[in-house]
Structure formats: C-alpha cells, structure tokens
Amino acid sequence: MQEQGEGSETEVTWEDQQNINKFGRLNNRFHELDDDIKIAKETDDNLEDASNELILTDEEVVRFQIGEVFAHVPKDEVESKIEQMKQVTTQKLEKLEEKESVLAQMAELKKILYGKFKDSINLEDD
C-alpha cells in the first residue's frame, strides 16, 4: 500500500486489512492468469502452424520433437498427436477464463477501499 497525495489519516480496521490482503492475492492471481493465457495462446498458435505445415508436406515420415530430441515419426501419428495437444491447450484456455471473475472481485474491492481511503491508497498497477 502506497500513500500518495495529501490524504487524511483513516484508521485501518482488521476488515480493511483483510480486504487489502485479498486484493493483493487477487492481483497476483490476475497476473498469473494473464501470463498463463499468453503462453497457452502462443502454444495454440504454434500447434496450428505445425498442423498447417504438416498438411503441406509430401513426406510420410516427418521429424517430431520429443523433449530436446527429434524423432522420425509417421505423418499420421504426428497429426493425431498435434490434435491431442491442441485439445489440451484449448481446455487450458477454457479453465483460464476465471480471469473475468478475478477482475470483477478486484473491482468490487477497489470500490470499497477507495470509498473509505480515497487517495490515501493506491491499488493501480504502475
């Protein structure tokens, strides 16, 4: 919590402190979700690109990366593996939709805390 401006001294009750702590936890969760969503979208895009490249290839056996090693795998197996990976990524993206719920809870806490502390509290990301 940062003090800014010429705000008046308002007593911080136990309940206020709990709200401030909850806001901090929600803010951390929001940033974690944001990072996870970016990673999942990037993975989904990469899988889509790989799938498109696989469609364009004429070879029946292609190189498929497993960990740090490339293995020669039949094209059909790679296609099914990429589809499975895309489904897993899509499911992860659906689970990450709790971001909206976190934002709503943060907005409610901001309203409560700014209502009481006015400009004596800073809840914005800098």
Q: What values do phi and psi take at 38, rounded to 5?
A: -60, -45
Phi then psi dihedrals of residue 22, to 5 deg: -65, -40
What pTM did the predictor assign? Answer: 0.72
At 87 the three-state DSSP class reads helix
Distance CA 24, CA 65 (A): 40
* Cβ partners under 8 Å of residue 102, min gap 6: 26, 29, 30, 33
Q: What is the pLDDT of residues 37-89, one digit of tens each?
A: 899 999 999 999 999 999 898 889 999 888 899 999 999 999 999 999 999 99
What digits encode the pLDDT tens for the residues 82-125? 999 999 998 888 877 788 899 999 999 999 999 988 888 888 87
CA–CA gap between residue 27 and residue 69 (Å, rounded): 39
